[in-house]
Structure 1
Amino acid sequence: MTEQARPQELPAGLLTDPEMINACRVRDFARVFRLVKARAGIYPSMIARRCELTPSRVGEVMAGRRQLLHMDVVERIADGLRVPGHMLGLARRPWETPQTLGAVEAEAHQDAEAGKAAPGTLPGPDVDSILALTSRTTLNSATLEAFQSSIEDYWRRDDQHGGEALRPAIVGQLRYVVGLLKENRPPSIQRGLYGVAAELARLAGWTYFDARQYNQARAYFTEALQLAKEIDDRQTMANVLACMSLQATYQDKPADSLAFVTAAQDQARSAMGSTPRVLSMLSMREAFAHATLGNRQSTHRAIGEAHRHFEEIQAADHDPSWVTYFDEPKLIVDTGIAHGRLGEASTAEPLIADALQREDRANQRGRAFHSFWLARTQLDQGKLDQACHTATQALESASAVASERVTGHLREFYDQLAPHRQEPVALAFEARLRALLPVNGTIRP
């Protein structure tokens, strides 16, 4: 902030207003700025000055002609308008924490009483201040291992429950690690921190992708690419580009998907130590792109490449941790999905069914995806009873995970079922859908 005086606080009523909370959650700054103007009397010129933006840029945002995606801009908005960090998916901002323990001691009695009244609130300022005293400890390899362990736990919980509830913690840890990068450290530790930050940015992007908030996802994926590029980590760059390729497939932008995965393969081939498992996964992403484009021959070729690379996997391979999920059941189910995207339902069905029998049952989101794909291929072949039975079973997994992508797969099957809605098996499926999942404007039995 360039202003010397403490910025005006936003009214408590605005910060607790559901419209403001939702606008901040999705980072819809057009709405945020309009609400701030209407409810707090902070006009566009003042918003621009407080957030270190130009007045014309603020005007373009409020008119819906421009979006603000870069994290440094989001942080300036939080600090300039005094929006608490958690509302924008950021870590607690410095101005939310007292600067000295003395201030905490003076308020200890009030904080204790507040803690009794609201035991479920976020950690109090005394905790933040105490933890701040430890923030300058020397980082070592054990610290990096702890970061990696937390990332692995995030991924496991994301598979089981979806990333919606995890996202604030992931973004907060990302900002913390990026802050550590500003300090001088031994080269090996600094490189490790860049790797951790790149993976956290990819994970944050993935949670936004899973929520179908594609602009935010792309911003974090781009940040992950920049962090990986700082240390010339081409394997991580390949992985991030593969994520962007998958997102483009979901956005029905197959040409973009193919461009991203081709770039990912180039990075992987130029990297030291790229393993057959990595190359197999990338070939399968290429198959998805070709299938979405309707390129049958190219899809079959890419599937063949994926299986050829997979057969070359050795127990002694040093696979990156982010590709270990790509096991044989995943190869098989993705092969089935690629055939399904081409409209080759009779080929796709047994492959997806076989993979579902063998894949990890703890991966609720993956099982929901694959079950809905299986149901769609069965319906494509006129197997209405089997399709409805499969989709009904998929609802169990779908109801256990918060994922807009799962909802999207359910919606696609439900739309495909439209000509058969009055059949008894379809009615039974709809009854189960009503019982397990909330009815909303996008899926309305």
Structure 2
Amino acid sequence: MDDLPPSPAQVPHRLLADPAFVRALRERDFSSVFAMAHDAGISFNRIAEACALKAERVSQIARGAAAVTALATVERISGGLRIPGALLGLAAQPWEDTAAPSTESDHGDDPMKRRNLLRGALAAGLTAPALAALTAARTDVDQTLSPDTPQDLADLEATAESYGYGYHGQAPTRVLADLVTDFTTLSPLLTVPQPAPVRARLCRTAGQMAGMTAIVLHDLGSRRESRAWFATAARAAAESGDDQLYAWVRAREAMVPLNYGAPKAATGLAEQARHAAGNRPTAAAVLAAAVAARAYALNHQSEQARTALAAADALMDRLPEGERSDTWLTYGEQKHHVHLSHAFTTLGDTRRAQESQQRALELSAPTSTMTRTLLNIDAAACSHHDGDTEQACRRAIAALTALPSDYRTGLVRRRALDLYEAVPAQHHRERAVRELRDVVAG
């Protein structure tokens, strides 16, 4: 007995009216197509059955682990999910309503015939054939127009800006998951030819989002992954032609070796950032000078550190108001004092360090959990510099134990460990010092 043909699994009409679904069909992005069909209630097993595919392969396609390239497979998907051929760049399929307008040339360019066919299709409402006809009509004209900005780009730029406001009380791992998910939506836009100005905007957004992903990874203590994301951000920034973004990426990248025990490497990256930023008062220029100062201080180059601090202060005084907001992508007064706090603490200038700590805490929002903790650890280090090691350990312990577990990240632990290692070995058996060691290790 001959095998029966697979029975179709009709995708809901609302999906065929969804711009994201239509775009995925047009680009033959079957990972998104299958995922959205699944979200609409069609199981992967049902999709596999309807399209004469193995269930395992459908699952792989939905995850992006496999692709569909064969025309015969595309046609089977069209028939199996009852997706009009026009939406996939195919001829009208045999199962389609014969009353539906065709994109084939057999109708010629007769406007009256097209009008009547479209009216007939729409008489039954926004059915799949009618939506296919509307899409085909729009696409015919759209493809003849000059390339325009993808409609997703403005949304992605706004999304990147929103991530710049930091954690806002959210766990770093949650922010990381959201960031990377949104970052991947740039890929389809970057793989198709775009006008040069649009390409530059896409690369700029990619550089921002990759850079912010790297920041979160840095905060979580994943140094290798952070550097890899900064490398991607730097390539995107370079391609965008935005020197200030490139300088910002390099300055933020410098904070990875800065905070994890390689100040010489940090100095090199920070000076690259200063060179790229130039002498104009920009957020990237101030950041680069401040990070360079911290790196020189950690490298016991006090004169260079103070010179860089003076340069950072001078740039900060002239920084335009539009670049002073408190985001990852700009440089506000609070951020400036956070950097000054660490630089002056490292230099042993506890009076100026404490002034910056106080001002930074005044400017920090209650949700700035990680920043406030780092400032409190700097304050503890100042107590150690001033000779009260027990008080220093108590303050650091209080700062760490007050943190929710999600915020006890690699960066916070590293800063507390720096304090512990600064305590002379002969004091390591003292109770407060041992308790600090245990909390850091916990």
* Distance verdict in 2 for CA 1:185–1:430, change over 3 Å: closer
Q: Which moved further from structure 2: 302-311 or 379-388?
A: 379-388
- Structure 2 distance, partners of 1:167, 1:197, is 15
3-state SS in 2 of match to 1:165: helix
The equivalent residue for 2:317 is 311
- Structure 1 distance, partners of 2:271, 2:437, is 41
* Distance verdict in 2 for CA 1:306–1:289, change over 3 Å: same
In the TM superposition, 1:282-321 aligns within 5 A as: 282-315=288-321, 317=322
Kindly name which structure, 1 or 2, has the bigger radius of gyration based on alpha carbons: 2
Amino acid at match of 2:217: Y
* Distance verdict in 2 for CA 1:371–1:318, change over 3 Å: closer
- Structure 1 distance, partners of 2:256, 2:277, is 19
Match status 1:367 vs 2:376: no
- How far 1:381 sits from its partner (Å)? 2.0
CA contact (8 A) 1:161 1:400 kept: no
3-state SS in 2 of match to 1:313: coil
Match status 1:377 vs 2:382: yes
3-state SS in 2 of match to 1:161: coil
The count of residues paired between Structure 1 and Structure 2 equals 316
Cα RMSD after superposing both structures: 3.8
Amino acid at match of 1:308: A
Amino acid at match of 1:178: S
- Structure 2 distance, partners of 1:374, 1:141, is 49
Match status 1:189 vs 2:198: yes
Q: Structure 2 residue aligned with 1:212, among 214, 221, 224? A: 221
* Distance verdict in 2 for CA 1:160–1:420, change over 3 Å: farther
The equivalent residue for 2:354 is 349
Q: Deviations over 1:179-207 (max 9, x none)?
A: 31121233332221111111122122223
- How far 1:290 sits from its partner (Å)? 0.8
- Structure 2 distance, partners of 1:347, 1:443, is 31
- Structure 2 distance, partners of 1:242, 1:225, is 11
Q: Structure 2 residue aligned with 1:95, among 60, 63, 66? A: 66
The equivalent residue for 1:396 is 402
The equivalent residue for 1:269 is 278
Runs of 5+ consecutive residues of structure 1 not aligned to the other structure: 1-81, 86-90, 106-132, 434-441
- How far 1:160 sits from its partner (Å)? 3.3
- Structure 1 distance, partners of 2:417, 2:262, is 19
Amino acid at match of 2:402: E
- How far 1:426 sits from its partner (Å)? 8.3
- How far 1:157 sits from its partner (Å)? 5.0
- Structure 2 distance, partners of 1:222, 1:341, is 28
- How far 1:236 sits from its partner (Å)? 1.0
The equivalent residue for 1:71 is none
- Structure 2 distance, partners of 1:386, 1:248, is 25
The equivalent residue for 1:28 is none
Provide the TM-score with structure 1 as the length reference: 0.60
The equivalent residue for 2:186 is 177
Q: Structure 2 residue aligned with 1:164, among 168, 173, 176? A: 173
- How far 1:403 sits from its partner (Å)? 2.6
3-state SS in 2 of match to 1:265: helix
The equivalent residue for 1:248 is 257
In the TM superposition, 1:2-151 aligns within 5 A as: 92-93=63-64, 95=66, 100=77, 103=80, 140=149, 143-151=152-160
Amino acid at match of 1:345: T
Amino acid at match of 1:171: V
3-state SS in 2 of match to 1:164: helix
Q: Deviations over 1:379-429 (max 9, x none)?
A: 332333475246414533454526321232234445667647535x986x8
